[in-house]
Amino acid sequence: MRRGAWDNPTPFGRRSMPEPQPLIEIDRVSFGYDASRTILNDVSLRFARGKVTAILGGSGCGKTTLLRLIAGVYPATQGQVIFDGERVNAGNREQLYRLRRRLGMLFQFGALFTDLTVFDNVAFPLREHSKLPESMIRDIVLMKLNAVGLRGAAPLRISQVSGGMARRIALARAMALDPELIMYDEPFAGLDPISMGVAANLIRKLNDTTGATSLIVSHDVMECFLICDYAYLLSSQGRVVAHGRPDELRASTHPEVRQFIGGEPDGPVRFHYPAPPLAQDLGVAA
């Protein structure tokens, strides 16, 4: 008979509960945009349901690429991406359309439609992916805008709002369909301290209120640590350096973890992209 999940007793004599299946699994994935450079190198990650998980790392380490693989924009070179037990097939348009209805995406630069009003930007995914009547779409859009504090800005053009407001509008659009998964690509970039705090609180509040699973790609360590349940740190070689709860990463003695969290200029992560010596490039004799 197959051993069940209750067959391992705890120290107190009780049976342990099975670990819930993660919503997203990245299983030994490698990827490069061309053959000359590998962006992600045999990475494995698990994103728990209903939790806020941060994906940290310096520029160019593959954080945004990871979100693109989850959304099926590109196929993995090796390994597999699993969404709720189903392998993501970037070549299966029908599957991708179905899976993407279950996720919301906050793009790095907002990606709002500048020729549409604030209202129409948030209404766009509802009109694209549902057959709801306009009266119901109106109510949903106003509720989403109210959640980010911008219901009064509904009739404005995108050119009439600030950068911080645009980021909140993009957040309202990302959650328009009440997705199970919300992916945030650099949600704090370019925001002033007040707007950054508002955005961070909104991400945490929305996650707890809706029960969604949230993935935050960022290099803003302190803001992420304030709101995330778990975090992964990627290296410049596209590998997972460390992962754990924020307190565990703060206590890490790993040199690359210490350098990244502390923002230290000297350490394993070098400032210069690999290149020949400057004198050689300039043709200067040694």
Q: Which range is least confidently modeled, 116-125, 261-270, 277-286?
A: 261-270
117 pLDDT tier (thresholds 50, 70, 90):
very high
Strands 181-185 and 103-106: parallel
What is the dihedral sign for C-alpha 80, 81, 87, 91? negative
Mean pLDDT for the stretch of residues 155-167: 86
Parse the chain into domains and list their residue ranges: 22-102+182-259, 113-178
CA atoms of 192 and 109, how far apart (whole Å): 15
Q: What are phi and psi of 92, to 5 degrees?
A: -105, 95
Q: What pLDDT shows up at residue 51?
A: 92
List of residues 6+ apart from 82 with CB closer than 8 A: 24, 25, 26, 27, 88
Q: What pLDDT shows up at residue 19?
A: 59
273 pLDDT tier (thresholds 50, 70, 90):
low
Residues 126-153 pLDDT 10s: 998 888 999 999 999 999 899 888 899 9
Q: What is the CATH number of domain 22-102+182-259?
A: 3.40.50.300
CA atoms of 233 and 221, how far apart (whole Å): 10
